[in-house]
Amino acid sequence: MSKYKVKDSVVNKISELMFEVLGRENSKDKFIDSMNEVLSPVERLMVGKRLLVMYMVFVGVDYCIISDVVKVSRATIAKFAFLLDRSTHIKYSLSVISSKNKLENMFNQLLSSVLEPGISRSNWKTGWKLKRRIKEQKQQGF
């Protein structure tokens, strides 16, 4: 952050420009390429961690687990939980993502029950790998 105050009109123009440059990409790969060109690796990590913390709070993961997985302080988690509580747009986006993940998890659990180790003619290696992945997803919340 600069110590010099930027006028609100300039901040609005910057936001519009960011949307025009980053928000108009029509594919995931192009968006990622644009983000890589505009943001440094540290900035991308910072933004990604913020979004991940908000998502994990949204789905109800314990603060201790979030702190351990994402490597952020509990104060940071509380700050983004507060921001999430007051947000409407981010909550909606996270609810869409969460419902997609719930559907994917349900499918994985169904697949796991079919490929479960110990069932005749099942691939034990694949079954155990899937079972471990599902357990890890439940523990980490994503």
Task: Tell me the average pLDDT across 13-18.
Answer: 88
With cut-offs at 50, 70 and 90, classify the pLDDT of residue 95: confident
Predicted pLDDT of residue 124: 67
CA-CA distance, 37 to 17, in Å (whole number)?
15
pTM: 0.67
Predicted pLDDT of residue 62: 86
Predicted pLDDT of residue 85: 93
pLDDT in tens, 61-71: 889 888 988 89
Quick one: which H or E segment has residue 77? helix 74-86
Task: Tell me the average pLDDT across 78-93.
Answer: 93
Q: Does position 86 have pLDDT exceeding 90, yes or no?
A: yes
Quick one: which H or E segment has residue 31? helix 28-38
Task: Tell me the average pLDDT across 20-37.
Answer: 85
List all residues 6 or more positions away from 142 whose beta carbon is below 8 Å from its beta carbon.
52, 55, 56, 59, 61, 101
With cut-offs at 50, 70 and 90, classify the pLDDT of residue 75: very high
List all residues 6 or more positions away from 39 whose beta carbon is below 8 Å from its beta carbon.
47
CA-CA distance, 67 to 77, in Å (whole number)?
8
pLDDT in tens, 107-130: 666 666 555 655 555 566 777 777
Q: Does position 131 have pLDDT exceeding 70, yes or no?
A: yes
List all residues 6 or more positions away from 50 whose beta carbon is below 8 Å from its beta carbon.
80
CA 133 to chain centre: 17
Predicted pLDDT of residue 72: 93
Quick one: which H or E segment has residue 94? helix 89-114
Predicted pLDDT of residue 113: 59
Q: Where are the domains of the chain?
A: 39-140
Predicted pLDDT of residue 84: 93
Q: By the 8 A CB rule, do 50 and 79 touch?
A: no
